[in-house]
Structure 1
């Protein structure tokens, strides 16, 4: 009897927590009404970023035209969630490989990060994400992917997604992408931003109201904004392909992601369509066979 009471108490606590989180996220949705309607993205989306001396963070809030049950059913699925996240993450240009597994350390998502061109896995860096369903309720969920370390002394990687159902059979999402870095990471980013990344920009306006042409922030905030957007567009591309037959979903995901990124060429254009699709087909095939 005591065990049953404890379980019931825990369940009640988890449901209450989910209800509080759902309410907070809905309040955020209401507070962003105007920003979601009027923005430069031509979609209901709001992006913000933050930089500290040793960390970067990007947040995206967005409305997607999919029922909450659909979004939760694939991105918060207890059995297939980690594998589904691999299908999301592989769409990103810098993701060269992804593998989901379960072991003594729980659910893991192993991701190889590399350049925006074809590479051997030996030339990439593997990041081990711990996958956790942080909260689950009939109206709210949160999924966290956390990695202790990454390339060039980067650490504390976090990809987190929370979602709540809203009116019109739609879903309101909040995506967070963040990481910390040490001296080696700071030097590497400065080198990148001073060379091949010198003309790269983010999405936040940097110019004053009198500027004739829109100017955008650059530097490390621009860097984190671009990657946060790429991850968000990967989630949206994955959801958009669910209506296709299983044999067509990969092709549809790749097409959806590339077309979406090309809507923001100033920030996100890197390669041509055919180059991207061919590269991703090869990477997807490779991750079906290698561990």
Structure 2
């Protein structure tokens, strides 16, 4: 499988230069020029995945759905891991089910690139506070049930650079993190807050853990990259001890089930989350409308949920 860096080079200097012109035209919203230049690139380098993706996106912007789908599908054939995220484009065009739009390969590439500027961008540009919301929700859930805000073992799903571990510092005797992005994990490792870090998809990670080993599982803004959450919930229930807590934030959807938004993230409905919690063997300790981040200065609607294993 090609890496994201390989996908940005065709191996031919002339093709690469023309591709950069095509990208510039696309960024300037000259989609006709971008499509024409992308076709020229593919004449020179017909297996250049990024050029197929760009051609698909440019023709989609021109309203040429059939041509766009053809180009995007060719990109997917050449690079099934989909680190360029063409499945998202296909889903927007109605050529792929929304719950198949986001792959592990896309998320890994996205956050590998994002890692060096992740903390500063989230906390300053997006006013991100997912970990703080979860920590506060856990404190209140513990107070309501007259239990100490202290946990023997915690699993941090989609741990990123370690912001959640910072928010829980002092509350967990041990904490392990899991993430798809090795570059994010490198940053998390430097915090010194984790007892172990794992590069894996979170459901597969949970499936490999011992039954009843954790008192706490957290997932700060991680489920925005997952549509259906039934397997994640059931595996979390398996891994938690009796009365163990499962806390997370999601983006809010006011309809039924879940949807893929224009921001390339999934949003989940209150009814979906409550029904899934009950079906998975959890009691709802806290359910609140929150906003864990902003988009262009506007708070993004979300939910905070703290569940207790019963």
- TM-score normalised by L of structure 2: 0.29
Greater Rg over alpha carbons, structure: 2
More strand as a share of residues: 1
Say which structure, 1 or 2, has more relative contact order (CA 8 Å, 6+ apart).
1
- TM-score normalised by L of structure 1: 0.30
More helix as a share of residues: 2
